[in-house]
Structures are given as structure tokens and as C-alpha cells.
Amino acid sequence: MKITLLTIGKSAFPFVKEGLAMYEKRIARYTTYERIEIPALSGTSSLSSTEVKEKEGELILKKIKPSDEVILLDERGRSYSSIEWAHFLEKRLNNSTKSIVFVIGGAYGFSEKVYQAATSKLSLSDMTFSHQIIRLFFTEQLYRAFTIIKGEPYHNE
């Protein structure tokens, strides 16, 4: 299993980058993991919000292969407990040809085409978190899932 985290927008805050680096180093012990950051179009152009969403959607779709399982991080997605989430990943873990791409959208969300290309939607919280913070939450939960799957202690330090 290979896991990719695809984000619209670069990781802006130093603390987010540091946190991501820490959890990604831990995740690398368990699976092949890659983060791809697509620069955001919002704020950089004279496009409308719909146009930004469409164009960012095209950039997302370019990075996705037809065989990929595509999971959007979306407020309207399904909520999991950490244990359910670990089971979700565990089912896919022994399939070495499987690639899962998790996608964090831009400021205006996903285009209809991206929704159509997606296999499912995952919600980390009922609350809305910034696109910066959510990537940190996601990688922490990915690390946590592997400690649950492998029955290993979660390192809080």
C-alpha cells in the first residue's frame, strides 16, 4: 500500500512543517508515504472562486491515476473513531499494489469533477479547521492508525 497526501496550498507555517516532518518520519516506518503540495490559485489571480475551484480541480485530477483509491477530506464526509479508521487502513494494508490518495482541497473546496473522481469522503471533525492545520491532524491520525494496527505504543514524546 502506498499512501499519498495531496494538498492544495503549500504548508505555510513553520510549526505545521515541523509537525508534518515529525509524523511523516514515523509513518515512513510503516508504509510508503508521499505528500504532494499543489500551489493554491486563490489570491494569486483574478479568477472567481468557481474558476479557482475548477482549475485547482484539474491540477488535482492530473496527479491521480485511474487505479488510485481517492479519498477527499471533506466536512460532509464520514466520521470514524481512531479504531475504525485503523481498521479501514488495515483492510488495504496487505494489498501491495493499492495506492490511496487523500486530498485536502483549497479555500473554496472541491470541484464537481473531483467529487466524481473520488471513492469516498472522510471527515476528521464536525468543526472546520484551516487547510494548514488539517494536514497536521491527518498525519497524526495516520501515524496513530499504524500504532493501532501494529499494536505498538503511541509515542507522545
Q: Which residues bind its own copies (CB under 8 A)?
A: 12-16, 18-19, 22, 79-82, 85, 107, 124-133, 136-137, 140-141, 144, 154, 156-157
**Residue 108 Cβ vs its own copies, minimum distance, rounded to whole Å:** 13
Residue 49 or residue 79: which is nearer to its own copies going by CB?
A: 79
Residue 13 or residue 116: which is nearer to its own copies going by CB?
A: 13
**Residue 135 Cβ vs its own copies, minimum distance, rounded to whole Å:** 12
102 — phi, psi (to 5°)?
-95, 135
CB 149 within 8 A of CB 93: yes
Q: Which residues pair with 123 in a beta bridge?
A: 79
**Residue 9 Cβ vs its own copies, minimum distance, rounded to whole Å:** 8
What are the E-state strand segments in 9-151? 32-38, 69-79, 99-104, 120-123
Q: Which residues contact 126 (CB under 8 A, 6 or more apart)?
A: 75, 79
Distance CA 89, CA 150 (A): 12
Residue 66 or residue 126: which is nearer to its own copies going by CB?
A: 126
**Residue 36 Cβ vs its own copies, minimum distance, rounded to whole Å:** 19
Distance CA 126, CA 129 (A): 9
Residue 10 or residue 91: which is nearer to its own copies going by CB?
A: 10
